[in-house]
A and B are shown apart, each in its own frame.
Chain A
Amino acid sequence: MPTRDLVLAALFAAIIIVLGLVPPVMLGFIPVPITAQSLGVMLAGVVLGAKRGTIAVLLVLVLAAIGLPVLSGGRGGLAVFMAPTTGYLIGWVFAAMVTGYLSQIMVGRDQAGLVQGVNFFIAALMGGVIVLYGIGITYLALITGMGFVKAFLGSLAFIPGDVLKAVIAALAGRAVMAGYPLLPQRA
């Protein structure tokens, strides 16, 4: 793996961690603070693509596993991997992978801004919401013996916030592509 790719993934892992450390930001028109770390996962996909984005997320998880408080709220250690919500952490890996892959194949540098934005949003939604919640809810249902329906109902309240994050990720992906394009292009 080229050194530059390794460095990009490591830098983005650090960005994801910082997004968990800083106070939640306001969206501007909605008076609800959003914790940005899951936004960071979608961003990893839209900015770096599938391979480097996934490696960035894996690095964050490895750092959490070895006992560093890198997850939002100062969480870390092996206990976060033995929790009912661990499925969402596992889901992060696939969310970045799916978002990155869809971004690579759907978005091009010479597309119109609006088209790029919409494509990035679809990529972020598929990965960061659909795949992420699919895995998170499945894990929750199996580990706690709750069953899928109840696990789904319990997780429902968080979905709108993450859809909003997908919008932000799409807009950010478009802006970063205009300023410093890094997404591997596939014809």
Chain B
Amino acid sequence: MKTLYVDGSGFMHRLSARVKLALLAAASLALFLIQSPSVLGVGAIATGLLYASLRIGWRQSWLRLRVLFVTIAAVALFTLVFNSPVEAVSVFFRLSALALLASAVTATTTTGDFITEVTFAATPLEKLGLVKAADIGLSIGLVLRFIPEILLRHQAIRDAHIARGLRPKALSIIVPLIILTLKNADEIASAIDARAIRAQK
């Protein structure tokens, strides 16, 4: 599966993941505390310029952000109709700035860096005994490893329907998909335990 990271060497790429996430959190808080439409407008333009500096391109950006912007536009329209134009503009600028800033962080941080941060963030939970930080990386790897296999299985089940002259229906595809996939769990768990992956510290 292709990640949303975009290779590059700008200043955002060189910032550490932790700094970027902290800045994102601070900026989000600021954006929600600011009420003035003009300041929010400046913020939206600033984040827009930041995002543009990554040179992701119009088409790729549209593919990434279209659902989000449709939602933002819908909310802004709703606010325009039910509240006031000033509030609608504020809502639009605020949500757009957030979307652009978050996308910029995602595009400039590698998956590996993110996983390191998630594992670090989970260490307090580990002290509480709720989760083992190493398990997080293992689970992420497991999910990614099995997505293609399950996709193929889904296609095979669809083909089996068509071969029998049946139209693929939700229930008759989902049930075999779930059962066949989960039946592998024991083998996979044995393979993991045999390699003592979870026993390593």
Q: Give the nearest-CB partner of A22 in chain B.
A: B154
Cα–Cα, bound, A151→B121 (Å): 33
A69 within 8 A of B: yes
Give the interface size class of chain B.
35 or more
Report Cα–Cα, A21/B170, bound state, in Å. Answer: 14
A156 at the interface (CB under 8 A from B): no
| In the assembled complex, B198 has its CB within 8 A of some CB on chain A | yes
Answer yes or no: B174 CB below 8 A from chain A CBs: yes
Check A14–B143 contact: CB distance below 8 A: yes
Given contacts A8-B182, A11-B185, A18-B147, contact A25 B170 (CB under 8 A): yes
- Is A124 positioned at the interface, with any CB of B under 8 Å from its CB? no
**Bound form: Cα–Cα A179–B174 in Å:** 13
Query: Is the contact region of chain B dominated by helix, strand, or loop, or is it mixed?
Result: helix
A100 on interface, CB distance cutoff 8 Å: no
Is B78 an interface position by the 8 A CB rule?
yes
CB within 8 Å of A: which residues of B?
1-5, 24, 28, 63-65, 67-68, 71-72, 74-75, 78-79, 82-83, 87, 91, 95, 98-103, 105-107, 109-111, 114-115, 118, 131-132, 135-136, 138-140, 142-144, 146-147, 150-151, 154, 167-171, 173-175, 177-179, 181-186, 188-189, 192-193, 198
Q: Which residues of A contact B (CB under 8 A)?
A: 1-4, 6-15, 17-19, 21-22, 25-28, 34, 36, 39, 43, 47, 55, 59-60, 62-63, 65-70, 73-85, 140, 144-146, 150, 154, 168, 171-172, 175-176, 179-180, 182
